[in-house]
Amino acid sequence: MSQPCVDRRSTSSRRRFVQTSGAVALSLVSLTLLVGCDAPSSGGGAAATSFKGIDITGAEYARTFSLTDQYGQRRTLADFRGKAVVVFFGFTQCPDVCPTTMAELAQVKASLGKDGDRVQGVFVSVDPERDTAAALKTYMGAFDPSFVALRGSLEETAATAKEFKAFYAKVPGKTEGSYSVDHTAGSYVFDAQGKVRLFVRYGSGAQPLADDLKALLALG
């Protein structure tokens, strides 16, 4: 059974994010107790390829989403058919993992030249209470205005995270009413047909992601 992976490089990092979620649903209590590290498992089927990221082709999760973007438009995965899509769960007040991931994705898109027009970054907020549409619009503008930021109700956010087997949980801050959010730190990569293909761990680097996106785009 796959388990979530909490980053333990430092106390502050540990409180900021959780890498990967298992292939089966786990309770919040068990998530806080488990210490092993695995990527979300695939649903089986396709043979291994030379992808740099973790191949989860055939997985029976991360099939779609239905949330509102920073401009108030309802978006689903089908809206981006024909593009390689990179989906990341995070929040705008995240101090390091989220901005690093989005900046890296913007760098990768720019490095692909014309092929970059066929890459779509999607940021899903796990903190819809603070991440307003205006906040998300400003946040995406700092990286790439073409990136889509999505938010939903608390119930919609929970349902979307469950569909992606992504973990997130509020962590109380030092002052009353303040909090941070632990969350899955990797990215989900979809091919141009809208099928999930890869899970990319945080910190894997820009070049491996660029190589994988080029390979997926070459498949059509």
φ, ψ dihedrals at 122, nearest 5° = -130, 120
Mean pLDDT, residues 103-115 taken together? 97
d(CA 202, CA 154): 25
Mean pLDDT for the chain? 84
Q: How confident is residue 75, by pLDDT bands cut at 50, 70 and 90?
A: very high
Q: Is residue 31 pLDDT above 90, yes or no? A: no
pLDDT digits (tens, 9 = 90+) for 122-180: 999 999 999 999 999 999 999 999 999 999 999 999 999 999 999 999 999 999 999 99
What's residue 59's pLDDT?
A: 97
Q: Which two tokens stand for residue 35?
A: 């210490």
Packing angle, helices 97-111 and 206-218, rounded to 10:
50
pLDDT in tens, 11-22: 344 444 344 333
Residue 46's pLDDT is 43
Per-residue confidence band for 220, with pLDDT thresholds at 50, 70 and 90: confident
Q: Whole-angstrom Cα distance, residue 196 to residue 54?
A: 11
